[in-house]
Chain A
Amino acid sequence: MTTIDVDGEAMPIRPALAEALEVAWQRLASPGTWWTGAERLAIATECRHASACSLCKARKGDLSPYARTGDHDAATDLLPEAVEAIHRLTTDASRITSRWVRELSDGPLGEERYVEIVGIAATITALDTFDRALGRPMRPLPAPIPGAPTRHRPRGARRDLAAVATLAPEAIEAGDPNPYPLHGDKNIHRALSLVPQEVVNFFDLDVELYLKDHEIRDFAIEPRAITHRQIELVAARASALNRCYY
């Protein structure tokens, strides 16, 4: 039986979930498509730090989330535009607008690096939320794995669906990684497809946290220790608290 340590006790955990968690931690530390392993960990560090930022706290209370200017309390030496992206994704994501995304994407940060930040922010949020939910201490970030980013932008990516460019399944060209065979090609999978590896990174983890696409509406089997109804109750409440429109 695979177990996870919770306050000195060994709790049972599905082997596939345990493996997906470990893979996700390692991928956070690995060279990405547009950021090095050290930079990806800096992004994760900044995500963890954002809730203590005084500018973010003030903005969170503002009726108009884009009116207040100022400097973030940064924990890293990442570009100011990267810190702005990370902090808002972490502290006030539900009020992000397409205009804000495009301004960041079209500026010094660049669209590809912005999309990879979104993937990293989502991944570290998932990992830290899982540990918090179980009462486990926040896990120290792993050591960075050396190497250079691959820097490959899919040639078929277009800004025609979302605030960022995405790669439609029918637009994948020779030499472009196909991020869709394993987890599907619904819009939520397309969201990060400007950086195909981030689709794979996030959904390899997410399908073990939640359900694989084909399991979601297969009510003949219960692949988890809680039922479909219980899973969807948890999902619906979490989504409502996060003001998720999707």
Chain B
Amino acid sequence: MLIAFVEAVIDGDADPTSARRALRHALGDAALVDAAATVASFNAVVKVADGTGIPLEPWKAERTADIRAALAIDDLRSHDT
């Protein structure tokens, strides 16, 4: 339900109405507002990272090396070119 909501909001061609309704019905109004706020944050902060090429902190990269490798997250970085 939360995943469907995020996907519908971020896909500019999608209509989030039904996902929003389902989330509101299940978790309530305040939860809907805070879920909307979280999507907004993570749809925006990526522009800051991508737009400046800021690297991950070494300590964070070290701690997350396994999961980043498993999910191929480092392949998403285009700033080395």
Q: How far is the CA of A122 from the CA of B44 in the complex (A)?
A: 5
CB-defined A-B contacts under 8 Å, sample of 17: A11-B30, A93-B51, A97-B81, A130-B37, A132-B16, A134-B32, A163-B53, A187-B54, A191-B51, A210-B38, A210-B41, A225-B27, A226-B34, A234-B35, A235-B38, A238-B39, A245-B77
Interface residue ranges, A against B (CB under 8 Å): 4, 11-14, 17, 51, 89-90, 93-99, 101, 115, 117-119, 121-123, 125-127, 129-130, 132-135, 161-164, 166, 186-188, 190-192, 202, 206, 208-210, 224-226, 230-231, 233-235, 237-239, 241-246
- The 5 tightest CB contacts between A and B, nearest first, are A133-B36, A163-B53, A126-B44, A225-B30, A238-B42
Determine chain B's interface SS by DSSP, over half rule.
helix
Nearest CB of A to B4, in Å: 10
In the complex the two chains form, is A93's CB within 8 Å of B50's CB? yes
Which bracket fits the contact residues of B? 35 or more
Determine chain A's interface SS by DSSP, over half rule.
helix
Interface residue ranges, B against A (CB under 8 Å): 2-3, 5-7, 9-12, 16-17, 20, 27-57, 73-74, 76-81
In the complex the two chains form, is A239's CB within 8 Å of B42's CB? yes
Chain B residue numbers with a CB within 8 Å of A51 are: 12
Nearest CB of A to B3, in Å: 5
Contact of B78 among A97, A166, A237 (CB under 8 A): A97
In the complex the two chains form, is B33's CB within 8 Å of A11's CB? yes
Contact of B49 among A4, A98, A191 (CB under 8 A): A191
In the complex the two chains form, is A226's CB within 8 Å of B46's CB? no
Nearest CB of B to A22, in Å: 14
Chain B residue numbers with a CB within 8 Å of A161 are: 54-55
